[in-house]
Amino acid sequence: MLRIPKRQAINLVIDIAPDYVELLREFQTSDRGWLIWPQKFIEVKNNLKLENYVLLYQNELSIGKCMGLALLGKQGYKEWEEEMDSLVPEQQQDYIEELISEVSAVNSQSIEEQFGKWPETEEEKTLAKNQFEALPQDEKNEVIYRASCLYMSLFANIHNYFSLMVTGEKLTSLVAKALAGDDEAFCRSVKIDRNLLVSHPYFVERYRYAQIKGERKLLSCLSTAQSTPGLIGRIRYPGVFIVFGMLQLFKWLDDLTHEEILDICDAARLDRWENRIEDVNYLTKRLASFRRYQKTGGVSMH
């Protein structure tokens, strides 16, 4: 089983988890529980026509690949994949470790440092536009492609971890269940990201079919999902589920002691009282809840 080394996985969680917690806390307090995006993100999505980011929910690895394309570019990522395919498993492990080290170094920078400062004033917008227009066409295409990949992965990740914090289950898991015919997961997915209902082919067709057939149960569920905020009340465990989810993605959750996980939470600056992880015994209870939500679909937050 290929996975990044334990220390690298822990460092990534410690670096990334606080950013998602802070960002989702801002969404929690905006407009009474609706997931409201900053205007600049809305402009990016509309200008670059990124509605198909919802397709990334079908496979969590696709979100990581999309970020890899943003960081390495299409050619750079292609070369990385070709190099991976040419290596034996032992060499692949070393190659992955090397890449993660590079990504970790990039991840320590802000998005502005990686992709340039976001233009705020009209003068800055005009300057940025002029600089872009002065580029050769192939460079323009590369800039647009990498920016598209960057923001698609961000949109998908934010919704994914918002779902994890609110329901105890990632959107990638809910969408997979919906695609397998689970109408409850279908509704819960729409509640987290309404864009699924207008931009994901399966969700569009399933909704159309329900309307044609007059499926009252599903239509009523969808009406409620679309008319109520994704978050009602406070997020019960505002960070610890993100830590669990990231460790699970990196395939380390089952192999760390609960003491080690609690140390990771401390290093990620999670408030022990707020997350109800005052000690190892409490963390064990939170982890049991997390695993139960993965099996039951997070029906209860208690």
- Domain limits, the chain: 1-34+235-302, 35-227
Distance, in Å, from the CA atom of 20 to the CA atom of 162, rounded to the nearest integer, reads 9
pTM for the predicted model, two decimal places: 0.78
Using CA atoms, how far residue 46 sits from 50, 52, 67, 106, 148, in Å, is 7, 11, 19, 27, 11
* Residue 129 token pair: 């536009």
Distance, in Å, from the CA atom of 51 to the CA atom of 24, rounded to the nearest integer, reads 21
Residues 296-300: contacts with CB under 8 Å, at least 24 apart: 297/167, 297/169, 297/174, 297/177, 297/184, 297/185, 297/188, 298/167, 298/168, 298/169
Which residue has better confidence, 91 or 73?
Answer: 73
| Mean pLDDT lowest among 36-45, 79-88, 240-249 | 36-45
pLDDT value for 39: 77
Neighbouring C-beta atoms of residue 80, cutoff 10 Å: 15
Which residue has better confidence, 37 or 42?
Answer: 42
Distance, in Å, from the CA atom of 61 to the CA atom of 39, rounded to the nearest integer, reads 28
* Residue 132 token pair: 């872009």
| Mean pLDDT lowest among 29-33, 113-117, 227-231 | 113-117
Question: Taking Cα atoms as reference points, which of 241, 244, 251 lies closest to residue 5?
Answer: 251
Model confidence pLDDT, tens digit, residues 143-155: 899 989 988 998 8
pLDDT value for 170: 87
